[in-house]
Amino acid sequence: MSDRSVSHVTCLGCGCACDDITVVVHGDRIVETRNTCTLGSTWFGDGTVPADVRVNGRSASLEQALGEAAKLLRTAKRPLVYLAGDVSCETQRVAIAIADRLHAAIDSLAATAVESVLAAQRRGRAGATLGEIRRQADLIVFWGVDPDARYPRYAARFSPTAAGRTLIAVDVGESRGPHAADARIAIAAADEVDGLGTMRATVQGRVGSDDPRFAAAVELARRMTKARYVAIVADAEPGTHVPDPARAEALVTLAQALNGPTRCALSTLRGGGNRSGAEAVLTWQTGFPFSVDFAPGFPTYRPQAGAAALLATGEVDAALVIGAPATLPEAVAAGLARVRSIAIGPLASAAPFRPAVAVDTGAAGIHEGGTVFRMDDVPLPLRPSLNRVRAAVDTVAALQARLAA
């Protein structure tokens, strides 16, 4: 049996969605991935996934599982649909149609960036694609983030060292910027929002602060106004570190102020699994990026009442999870353990919340094609390297047909 190679494969291991991957397949297994980082190699693995179908913990046929799932959802008084990771935009679209039919609430991994999204909705946001930043920016400021930790190929692909380009790291408390930066400044975590406000005032030509805590920030702001094109890079999903909620808006307004004396883009880093796709498809279908509620018979926006909150308060009595359960936030997974649920996606049968119905499928980008979105909202096609695995989009569509019958 000879090896075969599939080029231009897209990796969903992180929000960079690198689409220059070559996957080498031997039989029904991935034996090599080229151009991947360690995160990407782990995400691809050997491509093998279980193909179990379970109802109440016992093996069942797909027809039995879909019938039980449809019954559970039809009888629910307050259902929730959740878009987890590693599914395509096409699958997400069908899941949204199910939520609409059920008058359900629907949420997704996109809600992990709630503060950044809400700040952009309130203020607007001057953004740019990662390609534009790579080509145009002569000053890149990494605000409290080192992409190497969670986005290993970011630096090599989107901010390579180039003549005339300067990289500046802003260390916010223990959140440090790249070690290879050309210069760095430090700001205490408690002073972050005030520091951003002082920088904005400096850019706008107002009287700057003489507070020694912000001397380096003021100097950085002046340096930024003299650049040709500034990119501010910040993590929209800072993980265990929970910054001041006002931080996101302060970054947005600083970038907007800089678009007077120069050109500035705010680039927010996002996790993988096509969570940016969930935000894009929900916005396209409903007008809102996450935490959408169809209960009134039309989509309404409840950004402060996401899946974790609905589950914690006991408002939800049944849930449908589309995507890989392993990608769920801890609070959502814990809440799902308290309701009857259905899981359809990669490794659904291994879901820690023990769904009443579990249907394993392939992963988008490995076993099935479609479309995903990079973290800068650029859509990318998927080229699967393996087949003969149950497709998530077909399975969710079959459930939709059951509910419509």
pLDDT tens-place string over residues 113-156: 888 888 888 888 899 999 999 999 999 999 999 999 899 999 88
* pTM of the predicted model as reported, rounded to 2 decimal places: 0.94
Going 310 to 82 to 15 to 350, the CA torsion angle's sign is positive
Q: What is residue 1's predicted lDDT score, i.e. its pLDDT?
A: 64
Domain that holds residue 296: 50-111+273-366+389-404
Decide which of 232, 258, 284 is a domain's last residue.
Answer: 258
Query: CATH number for the domain including 302?
Result: 3.40.50.740
- Number of structural domains (the chain) is 2
- Residues forming beta bridges with residue 139, ordered by sequence position: 166, 230
Q: What is residue 177's predicted lDDT score, i.e. its pLDDT?
A: 93
Judge whether 169 and 147 are in contact, CB under 8 Å. no
Q: Is residue 122 part of a domain?
A: no
Q: Are 251 and 134 contained in the same domain? A: yes
Q: Are 233 and 205 contained in the same domain? A: yes
Q: Are 75 and 162 contained in the same domain? A: no
Give me the mean pLDDT over the 374-402 stretch.
96
Judge whether 301 and 291 are in contact, CB under 8 Å. yes
Q: Is residue 117 part of a domain?
A: no
Q: Are 172 and 55 contained in the same domain? A: no
DSSP annotation string for 193-219: HHHHHHHHHHHTTPPPP--GGGHHHHH
Percentage, residues of the chain above pLDDT 70: 97
Tokens of 115: 């503060």
User: pLDDT tens across 186-238, in order?
Assistant: 999 999 999 999 999 999 998 667 889 999 999 999 999 999 999 999 999 86
Q: Is residue 181 part of a domain?
A: yes
Q: Are 101 and 136 contained in the same domain? A: no
Q: Is residue 14 part of a domain?
A: no
For residue 244, pLDDT over 90 is answered with no
Judge whether 229 and 138 are in contact, CB under 8 Å. yes
Report which of 217, 266, 271, 233 is spatially closest to residue 142, judged by C-alpha positions: 233
- Within 145-302, where are the H helices? 147-150, 154-158, 192-203, 215-225, 246-258, 275-286
Q: Is residue 136 part of a domain?
A: yes
Q: Are 245 and 339 contained in the same domain? A: no
Decide which of 258, 290, 324 is a domain's last residue.
Answer: 258
Q: What is residue 2's predicted lDDT score, i.e. its pLDDT?
A: 77
Q: Are 231 and 151 contained in the same domain? A: yes
Beta-carbon contacts of residue 227 (< 8 Å; ≥ 6 apart): 138, 139, 166, 262
DSSP character at residue 341? E
Decide which of 199, 226, 258 is a domain's last residue.
Answer: 258
Q: Is residue 78 part of a domain?
A: yes
Helix count (H) and strand count (E) of the chain?
Answer: 14, 19
Q: What is residue 18's predicted lDDT score, i.e. its pLDDT?
A: 97
Q: Are 160 and 252 contained in the same domain? A: yes
Q: In the block, which residue shows the tokens 């609430």?
A: 105
Q: Are 136 and 250 contained in the same domain? A: yes
Q: Is residue 30 part of a domain?
A: no
Q: Are 246 and 132 contained in the same domain? A: yes
Average pLDDT, the chain: 94
Q: Are 322 and 398 contained in the same domain? A: yes
Backbone dihedral angles phi then psi of residue 73, each to the nearest 5 degrees: -70, -40
Q: Is residue 26 part of a domain?
A: no
Q: Are 68 and 161 contained in the same domain? A: no
CA–CA–CA angle 240, 131, 15 (5° rounding): 30
User: pLDDT tens across 8-65, in order?
Assistant: 999 999 999 999 999 999 999 999 999 999 999 999 999 999 999 999 999 999 999 9
Q: How far is CA 196 from the centre of its chain?
A: 25
